[in-house]
Amino acid sequence: MDKAVKEQLTSDQCNEEPHNQEQLTPEQLRARVEELEAENGRLCRIRDALIERVEASSGLRAEPYAAFEHSVTLAEQVRERTEALNAALHDLKYSNQALKQANEEAATAHQRLIDAIESISDAFALFDADRKLVLFNNRFREIWALCGVNIQRGITIERCLELGLERNLIVETQVWQGEDANIYRLCDGRWLQMSSRETGDGGMVALYTDITELKASEAAQREQALAVKSRLLQSTVDNLSQGVALINAEGRVEIWNDLFLELTLLNAEQLADSPRFEQLMSASDVTLLTPRSRDEADNPLTELTQELRDGRVIEIRTHPLSAGGYVNTYTDITDHSRYAETLRESERWIRVITDHVPALIAYIGEGMRYQFTNKVYDEWYGWPRGSLIGETMSRVHGEVQYERLEPYVKRAMEGESVTFEIEEANALGENRYLLKAYVPNLGADGKPVGFFVMIRDITERRRTSLALQQAYENLEQRVRERTSELTEVNQQLRLEIGERKTIESRLRDAKQEAERANLSKTKFLAAVSHDLLQPLNAARLFTGALLEQPMPERIAGLIGSVSNSLEDVERLLSTLVDISKLDAGVIKPDVSAFHINELLENIASEYTHIAQSEGLSFHAVNSKAVVHSDPALLGRILRNLLSNAVRYTGAGGNILLGCRRRREGLEIQVCDTGSGIPSDQLATIFQEFKRGNNAGQDKGLGLGLAIVDKIASMLGHRIDVRSTPGRGSIFSVLIPYGELAPQHTVPQLKVNDFGDRLQGASVWMIDNDQSICDGMSTLLEGWGCEIVTALSLEQLREKVAVGSARLDLLIVDYHLDDGVNGVDLVREIMPQRPDEPPVLMITANYSNELKQEMRSLGYHLMHKPIRPLKLKTMLSHLIDPQTA
- Any idea which of 40-44, 163-167, 282-286, 482-486 has the lowest mean pLDDT? 482-486
Q: Are 451 and 413 in contact (CB under 8 A)?
A: yes
Task: Output 601 or 99, whichever has higher pLDDT.
Answer: 601
Please name which of 709, 640, 644, 638 lies closest in space to residue 674, comparing C-alpha atoms. 644
Average pLDDT over residues 618-631: 90
pLDDT tier at 422 (50, 70, 90 boundaries)?
Answer: confident
Kindly state the percentage of the chain with pLDDT values over 70.
76
**What pLDDT sits at residue 3?**
45
pLDDT (average), residues 538-553: 64
Q: Which residue in 655, 649, 637, 658 sits closest to 706, CA to CA? A: 637
Average of per-residue pLDDT across 215-232: 72
pLDDT of residue 159: 82
Domains 120-210 and 754-878 share a fold: no
Q: Give me the pLDDT at residue 88, please.
A: 75
Separation CA 625–CA 737 (nearest Å) = 7
* Chain centroid, CA 75 distance in Å: 109
Q: What is the pLDDT, as a whole number, of residue 224?
A: 73
Cis (ω within 30 of 0) for the bond into 865? Answer: yes
* Predicted confidence band of residue 65 (pLDDT cuts 50, 70, 90): low
Helix locations, 585-668, DSSP H? 596-613, 631-647
Q: What is the mean pLDDT of residues 309-326?
A: 86
Helix (H) or strand (E) holding 856: helix 848-857
**Residue closest to 662 by CA, chosen among 599, 717, 605:** 717
- What is this structure's pTM? 0.34
Domain 337-463: top CATH class? alpha beta
- 754-878: in CATH 2.40.70.10: no
- Average of pLDDT values for 705-729? 87
**Sign, Cα dihedral of 818, 819, 824, 826:** positive
Alpha-carbon dihedral sign for residues 618, 623, 628, 630: positive
Residue 487 has pLDDT above 70, yes or no: no
Query: Which pLDDT value is given to residue 724?
Result: 87
User: Is the per-residue pLDDT at 437 higher than 50?
Assistant: yes
The pLDDT value given to residue 559: 64
Summarize pLDDT for 664-688 with one digit per residue, the tens.
999 999 999 988 888 888 777 777 5
Question: Which of 161-175, 259-273, 334-348 is predicted least confidently?
Answer: 334-348
Instruction: State yes or no: pLDDT of 455 exceeds 80.
Output: yes
Q: How many angstroms from the chain centroid is the CA of residue 438?
A: 38
Phi-psi region of 817 (alpha: psi -120 to 50; beta: other; left: phi over 0): beta
- d(Cα 612, Cα 461) in Å, to the nearest integer? 68
Task: Look at residue 755 in the predicted model and tell me its pLDDT.
Answer: 55
CA distance 875 to 764: 12
Intra-chain end-to-end CA distance of the chain, in Å:
140
CB 437 within 8 A of CB 419: yes
Q: Which residues of 671-684 are buried (b: 16+ CB within 10 A; e: fewer)?
A: bbbbbbbeeeeeee
The residue among 455 and 572 whose pLDDT is bigger is: 455
Q: Which of 313, 315, 347, 310 is nearest to 330 (CA)?
A: 315
More confident residue, 186 or 60: 186
**Is residue 93 within a helix (H) or strand (E), and if so which, with residue range?**
helix 64-119
* pLDDT for residue 82 is more than 60: yes
- Give the Cα separation of 580 and 50 in Å (integer): 138
* In the chain, % of residues over pLDDT 90: 7
DSSP string, 149-181: ----TT-BHHHHHHHHHHTT-EEEEEEETTTTE
User: In 677-833, at which residue ranges do the beta strands (DSSP E only) sit?
Assistant: 718-724, 728-735, 762-766, 786-790, 809-813
Q: Which CATH architecture has domain 590-735?
A: 2-Layer Sandwich (3.30)
Give the span between the Cα atoms of 273 and 873, in whole angstroms.
50
Which pLDDT score is estimated for 264? 82
Contact 540, 563 (CB under 8 A): yes
Closest CA to 666 of 616, 718, 723: 718
pLDDT confidence of residue 207: 83
Query: Domain extents for the chain?
Result: 2-115, 120-210, 241-332, 337-463, 590-735, 754-878
Residue 535: pLDDT over 80 = no
pLDDT of residue 20: 43
Query: Model confidence at 734, in pLDDT bands (50, 70, 90)?
Result: very high
Residue 236: pLDDT over 70 = no
**pLDDT tens figures, 638-660:** 988 898 888 888 888 999 999 99
Q: Which fold has domain 120-210?
A: Beta-Lactamase (3.30.450)
Q: What is the CATH number of domain 241-332?
A: 3.30.450
Above 60 in pLDDT, residue 327? yes
Q: Average pLDDT over the chain, rounded to whole?
A: 78
The predicted pLDDT at position 746 comes to 41
Kindly indicate the confidence band of residue 811, based on its pLDDT and cuts at 50, 70 and 90. very high
pLDDT band for position 531 (cuts 50, 70, 90): low
Q: How confident is the model at residue 1 (pLDDT cuts 50, 70, 90)?
A: very low
Backbone angles phi, psi at 391, to 5 degrees: -80, 150
Q: Which pLDDT score is estimated for 578?
A: 60
Nearest CA to 291 out of 320, 266, 330 is that of 320
Does residue 569 register a pLDDT over 50?
yes
* pLDDT of amino acid 530: 55
Count the helix, strand and coil residues of the chain and give each as a percent rounded to the nearest 5: 50, 20, 30
Mapping DSSP to helix (H, G, I), strand (E, B) and coil, where does residue 493 land? helix
Per-residue pLDDT of 357-411, as tens digits, reads: 677 888 898 888 998 888 888 888 888 888 888 888 888 888 888 888 999 999 9
**3 state DSSP class of 813:** strand
pLDDT at 22 over 50: no
Read off the pLDDT of each residue in 161-190 and give the average, rounded to a whole number. 75
